[in-house]
Structure 1
Amino acid sequence: GRHFEDLHHTEKIYRKALILSLQKSSFCTHFCWRLERTVEHSMLGLGVSIEICAHVFAGIISRGR
């Protein structure tokens, strides 16, 4: 459906930005790779996965400052 397509598009943008931003951290690269595998297997987990990754991303940014 339309809603899922929008959500999937948003998730792809988030994930791409996260992976590009966090590549220097092996933990985060691994985390995002695992997230990608999880998302592929769970449509319902899509929104939750974005939130989790965004929280981790925000935590790392704040710790880096």
Structure 2
Amino acid sequence: MSALFNFEALVFIILLAICTSAYIHQIFPRILDSNKNGALGIVWKFARIGERLSPYVSIGCVIMAIRFLL
């Protein structure tokens, strides 16, 4: 079953994309800030979500980690 049909896996993939994009933006801010359109634009948007909603994203990551441990 792919992640598109499994809601829990889809949420996990989105959380990983948000966390990874925020980390990449922290390391290479100019690359993402200069490319706000196209494929890197999606990464830039995920990075903005990760930066602005970081407490909620981290709580979501902890909940998903506990869920996968059980």
TM-score w.r.t. length of structure 2 = 0.40
The structure carrying a bigger helix percent of its residues is: 1
Q: Based on CA coordinates, which of the two structures has the bigger radius of gyration?
A: 2
TM-score (norm 1): 0.43
